[in-house]
Amino acid sequence: MDYDVLVLGAGIIGCAAAYELSKYNLNIAVIEQDYDIADDVALINCAIVYDGCECEDSLISRLEVMGNSIIEKVADKFNVNYKKCGHLIIAEDEKSKEKLENMYNISMSRGIKGIHLLDRDEVYKVEPNLNINVKKALYSENTGIICPYDLAIAYGEIAFDNGVNFKLQEKVLDIQKMSKGFRVITNKNKFTCNTVLNTTPGENYSIDSFNKVNKSISNLRYFLLEKEFSGNFQNIISTLNESEDKMYAIPSIEGVSIIAMKTNENITCEESIKKIGNFIGNIDEECINTVYESSFYNDSLMIDDSLIDNGYIKITGKNYNQVTTTPAIGKIVCDSIVSNLNCVLKKDFVDKRREFYRFRSLSNDERNKIIKLNPKYGKIICNCQKISEGEIIDSIRRPLGARTIEGIKRRTGVAFGSCMGSQCLSKISSILARETDKKITDIVQDSKNSKIMLSRIKEFDDI
Ligand SMILES: Cc1cc2nc3c(=O)[nH]c(=O)nc-3n(C[C@H](O)[C@H](O)[C@H](O)COP(=O)(O)OP(=O)(O)OC[C@H]3O[C@@H](n4cnc5c(N)ncnc54)[C@H](O)[C@@H]3O)c2cc1C
């Protein structure tokens, strides 16, 4: 067999599973169609680490509780941006008040810790800037916010450093059962393996003949507000009302606020801003840095291990809480695979991410020490976010380093500021071209068809 385990898809679940499996004496490869790992993890993600109290499904709630407690530990260990902050779920009318009380009782019966029911006055004490009609609120102490693609990249980097083979830009075309093991056919290769963990959404492989997931999708519109926005909240706030619409205000780790609006209606941006005004008070349009639209998924998550005896597990269904449940899912599928393959822990597993600097969060003394060792850290490339050339070079030279502009953005935070990269994009492209020994016209944003520069102007070729 070419591999003991093939993980298909290097999203956050594929990377977390690869990390867990890399603790064992196994020959593992991850196959990903994109240029980078974690490329499908939404760039502007709500980034909420849930605590299990909002889930209707008890099993998913348990996965959230388990994931929540693992995330707190791994974020610290892997140097991933994570902040614990409370979540206020606000009932705006009598009917939602009942729903909220029901949610509280279910949370108690599930044994979820740190949940409180607050009256109107108590809510305004916690968040004085709130502008909505509060009947009652449920306050969760144990929720948090995390940088989801940083968590996924951390899992991937450690798996890579512990011997997992990442095959990027390779698309899985089919998975076939053989008399012993599987054959995975890609656009470049045919691999044999004992076990397949399939995290890709493909449903038409030869092996897949089981139930399809129930899909549930609504529209989600995000408004990324500038730091100067006056109504900043300390906690995550969300609403519960008679309509299916839901508003979220999320204090991001970077200090800006994200306002998200989930709706099934087809409304304009101006109408959304008006609705948001009823939630957090009027927002000056000058404060809106970015508007981003996405889908809100509430599919039924399916971990199908019915064929585990034969060596096949498939994870399907996109869900709004998948970042939270990922660490738990990674551990559970790893346990199933390991007990099926009867393998042992590696003696030389290194549970550590290679160090890197987040320059802008260091003191001047710390910065000066690093600049003395490497002057590239003294050259700021992204003025809005204060990101240095040293950080960009490190993001390219790291294990599983960035090979696209998007990859550099996700690893360093470059071009996320108010100029959105208009002042630094060409500098970043030049650094990437130099570091990877490519022509600048070969540099891509994030995939094959996303070149940053199409061609050189002929007259300049001789310069
Ligand atoms: C807008 C938005 C907001 C969210 N907010 C939150 C939140 O606040 N809290 C939370 O916990 N979760 C949140 N989530 C959920 C979470 O970000 C995603 O559900 C999660 O990233 C999905 O991870 P995954 O690994 O299952 O799937 P994906 O990231 O989709 O990974 C699948 C991978 O498989 C690859 N692939 C697909 N087909 C093939 C093929 N044929 N061959 C090879 N590779 C292939 C893809 O390129 C991809 O990299 C949010 C999601 C969205 C979209």
The angle at the Cα of 220, spanning 104 to 259, to the nearest 5 degrees, equals 70
Q: 178 pLDDT band (50/70/90 cuts)?
A: very high
Probe ligand 1: pick from 318, 319, 446, max atoms within 8 Å of CB? Answer: 318
What contacts 457, CB < 8 A, 6 or more positions away?
none
Give the 3-state secondary structure of residue 94. helix
Q: What is the fold, at CATH topology level, of the domain defined by 3-42+149-213+300-341?
A: FAD/NAD(P)-binding domain (3.50.50)
What pLDDT does 169 receive?
Answer: 95
Give the separation between CA 278 and CA 243, rounded to whole angstroms: 15
Residues of the chain with pLDDT > 90: what percent? 59
Atom of ligand 1 at shortest distance to CA of 14? 25
What pLDDT does 62 receive?
Answer: 94
Distance 10 CA to ligand 1 centre (A): 9
Give the separation between CA 324 and CA 49, rounded to whole angstroms: 5
Between 431 and 321, the higher pLDDT residue: 431
Distance 69 CA to ligand 1 centre (A): 21
Q: Residue 413, exposed/middle/buried by CB under 10 A (0-12, 13-18, 19+)?
A: buried
Q: What is the mean pLDDT of residues 170-182?
A: 94
What pLDDT does 380 receive?
Answer: 94
What pLDDT does 262 receive?
Answer: 79
Express each pLDDT in 98-108 by its tens digit: 999 999 999 99
CB distance 39 to 361 below 8 Å: no
CATH architecture of 87-141+217-297: 2-Layer Sandwich (3.30)
User: Atom 26 (ligand 1): residue with closest C-alpha?
Assistant: 13
Q: What is the mean pLDDT of residues 232-260?
A: 81
Alpha helices in 286-424 (DSSP H): 322-341, 364-373, 389-397, 405-412
Express each pLDDT in 35-92 by its tens digit: 999 987 766 666 899 999 988 889 899 999 999 999 999 999 999 999 999 999 999 8
What pLDDT does 45 receive?
Answer: 61
Does the pLDDT of residue 375 top 60, yes or no? yes
User: Atom 27 (ligand 1): residue with closest C-alpha?
Assistant: 11
Provide the b/e sequence for 392-405 (b: ≥16 CB within 10 Å): bbbbbebebbbbbb
User: Atom 34 (ligand 1): residue with closest C-alpha?
Assistant: 9
Distance 232 CA to ligand 1 centre (A): 29
What pLDDT does 37 receive?
Answer: 95
User: Atom 17 (ligand 1): residue with closest C-alpha?
Assistant: 41
Atom of ligand 1 at shortest distance to CA of 325? 11
User: Atom 53 (ligand 1): residue with closest C-alpha?
Assistant: 42
CB distance 346 to 35 below 8 Å: no
CATH of domain 359-462: 1.10.10.1100
CB distance 18 to 159 below 8 Å: yes
Which sign does the torsion angle of CA 201, 205, 207, 213 carry? positive
* pLDDT, mean over the chain: 88
Q: What is the mean pLDDT of residues 165-177?
A: 96
Does the pLDDT of residue 354 top 60, yes or no? yes
Express each pLDDT in 186-222 by its tens digit: 999 999 999 999 999 877 788 876 555 555 666 777 7
What pLDDT does 210 receive?
Answer: 55
Express each pLDDT in 294-345 by its tens digit: 776 666 677 887 888 889 999 987 778 889 999 999 999 999 999 999 899 9
How far lies 35's CA from each of 167, 439, 444, 451, in Å?
A: 9, 17, 10, 13
Give the 3-state secondary structure of residue 261. strand
For ligand 1, residues with CB inside 6 Å are 8-14, 31-34, 39-42, 45-48, 148, 171-172, 199-202, 220, 294, 318-324
Residues of the chain with pLDDT > 70: what percent? 93
Distance 42 CA to ligand 1 centre (A): 7
- Where in the chain are the domains? 3-42+149-213+300-341, 87-141+217-297, 359-462
Distance 363 CA to ligand 1 centre (A): 35
* SS3 track for 268-315: CHHHHHHHHHHHHCCCCHHHEEEEEEEEEEECCCEEEEEEHHHCEEEE
- From 54-58, 213-217, 234-238, 446-450, the region with the lowest mean pLDDT: 213-217
Q: 171 pLDDT band (50/70/90 cuts)?
A: very high
- From 58-67, 222-231, 349-358, 453-462, the region with the lowest mean pLDDT: 222-231
